[in-house]
Structure 1
Amino acid sequence: MPRRHHPAPHASIWRLAPVQWETTVSYLQRLARRHHLNTAELLHGLGIHPPLLHPECTKPYGPYTSIELYLNAPSRGLIAAFVGIPDQHLAHALPEWNRYRDKPDPQSPRARLRLASAYAVTGCPRCTLARTGQPHPVPQYLPDTHLICRRHRTWMLGHHTLADTRLPVEHADLSRTPEILAAHRIHIRFLRRQGPAADHALALAMNLTETWRRAGPAEEHIWPARARRIGNNKRARLWYALAREAITYPETIALAQFLARHPRTLHVPERPGRTHPLHTAIATLLDRPRLENPALYPDQFSNRISYTPGRHPYPRSQSPYRHNPFNPSPTELTKLGYQPPRPRTTAGSKHAPPTNNQ
């Protein structure tokens, strides 16, 4: 069968550059909006067969943080020629740009709309406005070191649902939590100094702090108070689940540093039900005596610390690396222990509606 030739489209008069770590579908949406089209019309005009579209994709505006558009080699070539940006430059900025599994010698431009293989969040609104000149949100596959915008004191939370209803909250205000911003500076230095050992220590620390947070002991006062400051004293229980990574972030970074330089003197055999010197050291570090309880740690925890991981195969600048040991999909807050408020009762009811400001 003779090879088909697809003529390159006329280059656009607008050179629209992608935002670093932007989702492919977001970039194409911005490109279509720049030409007063929707995504399907843009693909059709470039000679790319539009895929079966998710209902949300028919909207001319709106962020996409759960679905992604994957393009084969001919499609990527057509888009690169249209925007006037080399394909390798687009691949450097868009993490999912060349993830389409091409068959040998593809001949027709194709696109597939699927659930994203990575977890994207909506970038800092003020940074996005300065970068693109438009108020529309830009979803990005941000690495864990870029979830915080220190300039605007914002934490990118991502999409969350509560009782199958999506919450219109995707960012947390850190202006009242300087300890989180300070922990972020320590986080950056920690990664530079420790290298691959930092990734392993962070994964262990995040697992531990999230497990302790979910347990919600009555003697824990620091994390609930931090949730109230993030939420400006409003709906503290909601923010305690919504911003769970931010709530425990200072303790996570402090614990990860400790685990990365774990003293060899603490490598003594663990005995079930008995306090280990490692548990005592962590309880002292985080100023939480309850953490001496062996039941709060996984089995053979000291052996997990001793494990030396290999170097991550992809550079952080090209392949965003996220530590997310639990569910990488949009969080269902009811699974984290937060219940939606009950519908208000009538005036004659004996039961008053519960409040979320506790």
Structure 2
Amino acid sequence: MPRALPDLSHQALFPIRPLAFETNASFLERLARAHRLTTTELLDGLRIRRPKISPDRQRIHGPHAPTELYLNASARTRVSQYTGIPEAHLAHALPCWQGHQDRGPATATRPGGTMRPSDLPAVTGCPHCTIARTGQTRPVLRYLPHQHLVCGRHRTWALGPHTLQDMTVPHTHVLLHKTPEIVLAHHAHLRLVRRWGPDADEAITQAAGLTEHWRRHAPKAERIWPARARLIGNGKDTSMWEVLAREAITYPETITLAGLLVRRPSARYHRTRPGQPHPFHEVVARSLNRRWLQDPTYYPEDLSHFIRHTPRHPDHPTAYRHHTKPTPGHRPDTIELTQLGYQPPPPQTTSRRQRAR
């Protein structure tokens, strides 16, 4: 027999507060789970039509919410009334809360919505902070700004979901207990954002592109970045961690370089011929304590080539992620991990004896 439709005309017995930057789908799932319902049953009980599922689109490279739930104005009002949380508070905490585009008054007044992938980078928040704030061990998917990927209290870095051969890589966070310089860089990152705002965002974006370029083409004399990968991975699968945690590995140098760029904006846009030295190269080498960066061959012809603008979070203009849209069919994470020989865990199969039971 089909399960009876729950009566949700009254206010929620177990009010659930959204976490900052949480996805709509995660918030509604937690709300439903608190009342021992599925998300579909919750929406049915609120008399909200089941959202339409939009076809999957080409996603921007990087971690993204697999599926986001967008509700129209009428549906958002019903959820707000049920939870007892004003819509203004929900819109402030949930970046995509008002992401549904109502087409005409009929669409806005009929409670419903759509399900489709989000264009904003999404990661699972710090597991320790999630337990403290929700009382549950289940991960919470959030659109965390880049400066909040590091949890200084619990020394973790949120990686975000990565897949290989359509299977999730079993690592969602980096442990930073053996790399205190990354945590210190996180505090410097926060100071840069508070002082310089969007200028710091642009400088960090460019600095991240440069340090990633250097990581890929660093000479054998470079020892710090491979050492960080070993510390992060606790001496295991170093090559894999160099790919998964590449932003974390170069993060201290990225923030140092960004501080240099934001204070010398004219240096960011200089043009030189390939192989031609520039005073800025010497300044960078001295600031990062790497002599090999005096060599102009490690720099692009135009530093502004590394500036990449990506979609930003609504109401949070300094939130960014320096992933770029790849060419069709190109999946950098998958290609790199495959070349490293990473094998996802084999699917669990059921033996004949177990099936017979």
Say yes or no: TM over 0.5: yes
For 1:111-260, what aligned pairs fall within 5 Å after superposition? 111-260=113-262
Cα–Cα, structure 1 residues 159 and 330, in superposed 2: closer, same or farther, change >3 Å? farther
Cα–Cα, structure 1 residues 221 and 127, in superposed 2: closer, same or farther, change >3 Å? same
Cα–Cα, structure 1 residues 165 and 314, in superposed 2: closer, same or farther, change >3 Å? closer
| Matched-pair identity in % | 45
Task: Tell me by how many angstroms 1:199 deviates.
Answer: 1.3
Mapped partners of 1:49, 1:266: distance in 2: 51
For residue 278 of structure 2, what is the amino acid of its counterpart?
H
Task: Tell me by how many angstroms 1:164 deviates.
Answer: 3.5
| 1:332 match: secondary structure | helix
Mapped partners of 2:259, 2:101: distance in 1: 39
Task: Tell me by how many angstroms 1:229 deviates.
Answer: 0.4
Mapped partners of 2:338, 2:280: distance in 1: 30
Please say which of residues 326-335 and 198-207 is displaced more in the overlay: 326-335
For residue 323 of structure 1, what is the amino acid of its counterpart?
R
Mapped partners of 2:332, 2:118: distance in 1: 15
Mapped partners of 1:132, 1:9: distance in 2: 25
| 2:104 match: secondary structure | coil
For residue 241 of structure 1, what is the amino acid of its counterpart?
V
The 8 Å contact of residues 70 and 112 in structure 1, kept in 2 or not, is answered as: yes
Q: Residue deviations 1:299-330, cap 9 Å, x none?
A: 333x779x9x9xx99653xx671232436999
Determine the structure 2 residue equivalent to 1:5.
none
Determine the structure 1 residue equivalent to 2:97.
97
Residue 334 (str. 1) matches residue 315 (str. 2):
no
Q: Residue deviations 1:132-191, cap 9 Å, x none?
A: 111111111001111011110111110112343211210010000010011111111122
For residue 321 of structure 1, what is the amino acid of its counterpart?
A
For 1:272-283, what aligned pairs fall within 5 Å after superposition? 272-283=274-285
For 1:339-350, what aligned pairs fall within 5 Å after superposition? 339-341=340-342
For residue 139 of structure 2, what is the amino acid of its counterpart?
P
Residue 75 (str. 1) matches residue 84 (str. 2):
no
For 1:24-35, what aligned pairs fall within 5 Å after superposition? 24-35=24-35
For residue 43 of structure 1, what is the amino acid of its counterpart?
L
Mapped partners of 1:10, 1:36: distance in 2: 16
Q: CA RMSD in A?
A: 3.0
Cα–Cα, structure 1 residues 298 and 269, in superposed 2: closer, same or farther, change >3 Å? closer
The 8 Å contact of residues 123 and 139 in structure 1, kept in 2 or not, is answered as: yes
Mapped partners of 1:32, 1:330: distance in 2: 35
Q: Residue deviations 1:218-270, cap 9 Å, x none?
A: 22211110010011111111111111110000000000011111286999763
Task: Tell me by how many angstroms 1:110 deviates.
Answer: 1.3
Mapped partners of 2:270, 2:113: distance in 1: 55
Mapped partners of 1:313, 1:19: distance in 2: 15
Determine the structure 2 residue equivalent to 1:297.
299
The 8 Å contact of residues 214 and 336 in structure 1, kept in 2 or not, is answered as: no
Cα–Cα, structure 1 residues 289 and 19, in superposed 2: closer, same or farther, change >3 Å? same
The 8 Å contact of residues 277 and 296 in structure 2, kept in 1 or not, is answered as: yes
Task: Tell me by how many angstroms 1:87 deviates.
Answer: 0.9
Cα–Cα, structure 1 residues 272 and 169, in superposed 2: closer, same or farther, change >3 Å? closer
The 8 Å contact of residues 225 and 249 in structure 2, kept in 1 or not, is answered as: yes
Please say which of residues 75-84 and 183-192 is displaced more in the overlay: 183-192
Question: Structure 2: where are the runs of 5+ without partners?
Answer: 1-7, 55-63, 345-357
Determine the structure 1 residue equivalent to 2:110.
108
What TM-score comes out, normalization by structure 1 length?
0.81
Cα–Cα, structure 1 residues 280 and 266, in superposed 2: closer, same or farther, change >3 Å? farther
Determine the structure 1 residue equivalent to 2:14.
14
Mapped partners of 1:255, 1:339: distance in 2: 29
